Chain A
Amino acid sequence: MAQAMAHRVQRSRRRAIVNHGGLLLLFWILTAISIYPLIWLVLSSLKTSSEMFGNSWAFPEVWQWDNYVQAWNAGISRYLLSSVIVTLISTLLVVYLSAAAAYALVVLRFRGKAAIYALILGGLILPPEVALFPLFQTLTWLGIYNTYWALIIPYTAFGIPFATFLIRAYMVKIPIELSEAAAMDGAGPLWSFRNIYLPLCRPVLASAALIQSMRSWNEFIFALSFVESENVKTITIGMMSFANALRSDWSVLMAGLVISIIPVLLVFIVLQRQFIGGLTQGAVK
């Protein structure tokens, strides 16, 4: 009896190990599929073009750092700078404006609140593609086509609904007494927004900022349509021009791709936990 029992335990443990082993293998394969293309990208960017095709799996014979010099000289820095400017400003605007709106929606009392919230939230279901051509005309009419503002303003407008939703959900958990007490002391709404709510909301503001900066950084169709000059193009579209000019020089192209992902990659590696945590605050792709 005891023996049989021991047998069974052993068998189930063995099965657990087998299952575990199978799962482990499966996850290693998944991981390999996820990151091997990137490793291949980095390795290939350090090879000569012919080596890259002939000897795809091996390490470079001679590390071709020159590919990076060539890619850099082809003007990637301009695109990166544009992306940084556009991302930074649109993120600041989105976070600040959304926080202000969320504050009013949660704390202040005024008529039409529900309708206004619905109006802001409604922006979530309008895909940017739909507005493409009319928006393009509006920007032209405003005279900001082909400037940073042609990206910053639409990014801000399309980013506000989600950020407001996110921040509002956090603010409703803050006890209303806090601002009521401040109001009793004669503080205005602006004061209590800045000095009570903004500091308290720091975690959610950080998430909103992260989500918005990823959106702005990776945005494609507006960047493709609303700016034209090389020195205004963001990295997503800049890399298209870069690739078109270098179609036949693959290793340099790949070096350029690596350079273009280094900034985000660095931030991701350093702030892994915050990064994943922040991005999963709301499901936005």
Chain B
Amino acid sequence: MSSRIHRIVPYLFVLPPLILLAVFVYGPAFENVIFSLHSWSSINPDWEFVGLRNYRQLFANPVFWVSLSNNTLYAVISVIVQVFVALGIAAVLSAGIFRPRLNTFFRTSVFLPAILPVTVVGLLWQLIYQPSIGLIDQFLFSTGLGNLSRVWLGEEQTAIYAIILVSQWQWTGYMVALFMVAIAAIPTDLYEALEMEGATRIQQFRYVTLPGVRESTLIFTVITIFGAFKVFDIVWVMTAGGPNRASEVLGTHMYRSAFRDDVVGYSSAVATVIFVITICVGIVQLMLQRDE
């Protein structure tokens, strides 16, 4: 009797998480795939099995391809800025070039945007981008660069870049902090040895820092890509995918299909695509993390 209880006890510890995950994480993800094979709407919820029709519609829909390429753009720019630029900034801040107080001030300042809710960030930048009266246009006009002014969020050519820029503003500092943790983990005697040989700071970066953060860099890259393909919030707040769907990403396309166009099956097909993409990225991440 008591040994039976003994055998059950460990499972009691892991049971609540497993139930929560089954009902609220795995279950819905699985259902989503089922949904994507049906046609139905929230107002008139009659199910109809349609096979792969939603996927055919999806791949024939130019908005889907616009969304996908916007996500890709998002990923590429984010990797450049939030991984490579952030690594550079982190290396400088870790090298003790500035006075310690100034160093902390720089680090804290660039980190600050990361703690703000995305709604606040989005609304704030909407005001900053506002034509003529926003901060950017005021700056351009007051410095005689008025002819560079664009309707940043209102032009199809610039809207997605304007949003991506905000995302970099918000997250680069956070990534800098992450890199600083990674750099701090590199044994200092490696630097000391090189310094004895008279190596410059750049050489130290090249021969110690870079190899030292190689794995972290890989993981951060994967995380950044992961984030770029599931992005929804900042786009929804700033443009809701407009103008003319030019800044639509997979997340907003999915949301709009479900809750505006009322084609739930189609929306689930979009969700499945996001799922497939992120699962590929996610598996790479898990593998890297395990290696580490």
> Is A74 positioned at the interface, with any CB of B under 8 Å from its CB?
no
Q: Mark A218-245, 1 if CB is under 8 A from B, else 0.
A: 1011001100000000011101100100
User: If A24-B98, A30-B106 touch, does A285 touch B271 (CB 8 Å cutoff)?
Assistant: no
Check B16–A97 contact: CB distance below 8 A.
yes
Check B237–A240 contact: CB distance below 8 A.
yes
> 13 more A-B contacts (CB under 8 A) besides A97-B16, A164-B17, A189-B13?
A23-B97, A101-B16, A105-B14, A110-B10, A110-B11, A125-B283, A129-B251, A134-B27, A138-B24, A220-B232, A225-B259, A236-B117, A285-B227
> Is B75 positioned at the interface, with any CB of A under 8 Å from its CB?
no
> Is A187 positioned at the interface, with any CB of B under 8 Å from its CB?
no
User: If A34-B113, A125-B278 touch, does A254 touch B283 (CB 8 Å cutoff)?
Assistant: no
With a CB–CB cut-off of 8 A, which chain B residues contact A243? Answer: 119, 123
Check A280–B286 contact: CB distance below 8 A.
no
User: If A34-B110, A260-B117, A285-B223 touch, does A280 touch B32 (CB 8 Å cutoff)?
Assistant: no
Residue of B nearest to A250 (CB): B127
User: If A123-B21, A133-B271 touch, does A100 touch B13 (CB 8 Å cutoff)?
Assistant: yes
User: If A97-B17, A264-B116 touch, does A283 touch B173 (CB 8 Å cutoff)?
Assistant: no
Check B135–A35 contact: CB distance below 8 A.
no
Check B28–A131 contact: CB distance below 8 A.
yes
Contact of B128 among A37, A53, A57, A239 (CB under 8 A): A37
Residue of A nearest to B284 (CB): A125
Contact of A240 among B10, B108, B119, B268 (CB under 8 A): B119
Contact of B135 among A56, A134, A138, A189 (CB under 8 A): A56
Residue of A nearest to B222 (CB): A283
With a CB–CB cut-off of 8 A, which chain B residues contact A130? Answer: 28-29, 32, 271-272, 274-275, 278
Residue of A nearest to B289 (CB): A165
> Is B53 positioned at the interface, with any CB of A under 8 Å from its CB?
no
> Is A85 positioned at the interface, with any CB of B under 8 Å from its CB?
no
Contact of B105 among A31, A121, A138, A253 (CB under 8 A): A31
B5 to chain A, nearest CB (A): 10
Check A20–B97 contact: CB distance below 8 A.
yes
> Is B112 positioned at the interface, with any CB of A under 8 Å from its CB?
yes
Q: Complex formed: what's the CA distance from A34 to B118 in Å?
A: 15
> Looking at chain B's contact residues, is the secondary structure mostly helix, strand, loop, or mixed?
helix
Check B230–A129 contact: CB distance below 8 A.
yes
B133 to chain A, nearest CB (A): 4
User: If A132-B271, A134-B31, A283-B178 touch, does A56 touch B18 (CB 8 Å cutoff)?
Assistant: no
Q: Mark A100-114, 1 if CB is under 8 A from B, else 0.
A: 110111001110000
Can you show 30 pairs from A to B with CB atoms below 8 A apart? A24-B98, A30-B106, A38-B124, A41-B124, A44-B127, A100-B14, A100-B16, A101-B14, A123-B21, A125-B279, A126-B25, A129-B232, A129-B251, A130-B272, A132-B28, A133-B32, A134-B31, A134-B268, A157-B21, A158-B25, A160-B21, A193-B13, A221-B232, A235-B117, A236-B119, A254-B124, A260-B119, A276-B107, A276-B177, A280-B177
Contact of B133 among A53, A261, A264 (CB under 8 A): A53
Check A104–B14 contact: CB distance below 8 A.
yes
User: If A110-B11, A153-B20 touch, does A236 touch B118 (CB 8 Å cutoff)?
Assistant: yes
Q: Complex formed: what's the CA distance from A122 to B174 in Å?
A: 25
Residues of A104-150 at the interface with B, using a CB-CB cut-off of 8 Å, are 104-105, 108-110, 116, 119-135, 137-138
Check B120–A261 contact: CB distance below 8 A.
yes
> Is A214 positioned at the interface, with any CB of B under 8 Å from its CB?
yes
Residue of B nearest to A31 (CB): B109
Residue of A nearest to B171 (CB): A285
Interface pairs A-B: 10 shortest CB-CB: A125-B282, A104-B13, A131-B28, A134-B28, A220-B233, A134-B31, A157-B24, A110-B10, A108-B10, A127-B230
> Is B23 positioned at the interface, with any CB of A under 8 Å from its CB?
yes
With a CB–CB cut-off of 8 A, which chain A residues contact B283? Answer: 125
With a CB–CB cut-off of 8 A, which chain B residues contact A188? Answer: 9
With a CB–CB cut-off of 8 A, which chain B residues contact A131? Answer: 24-25, 28-29, 32
Task: Give residues in B with beta carbon < 8 Å to A.
Answer: 7, 9-11, 13-14, 16-18, 20-21, 23-29, 31-32, 35, 89, 92, 97-98, 105-120, 123-125, 127-128, 133, 135, 138, 169, 171, 173-174, 177-178, 180-181, 219-220, 223, 226-227, 229-230, 232-233, 236-237, 251, 254-255, 258-259, 264, 267-268, 271-272, 274-275, 278-279, 281-283, 285-286
> Looking at chain A's contact residues, is the secondary structure mostly helix, strand, loop, or mixed?
helix
Q: Complex formed: what's the CA distance from A129 to B226 in Å?
A: 12
Check A138–B177 contact: CB distance below 8 A.
no
User: If A257-B120, A279-B174 touch, does A132 touch B258 (CB 8 Å cutoff)?
Assistant: yes
> Is A6 positioned at the interface, with any CB of B under 8 Å from its CB?
no
B115 to chain A, nearest CB (A): 5
With a CB–CB cut-off of 8 A, which chain A residues contact B31? Answer: 134, 137
Check A125–B286 contact: CB distance below 8 A.
yes
> Is A268 positioned at the interface, with any CB of B under 8 Å from its CB?
yes
> Is A91 positioned at the interface, with any CB of B under 8 Å from its CB?
no
Check A239–B21 contact: CB distance below 8 A.
no
Residues of A266-285 at the interface with B, using a CB-CB cut-off of 8 Å, are 268, 272, 275-276, 279-280, 283-285
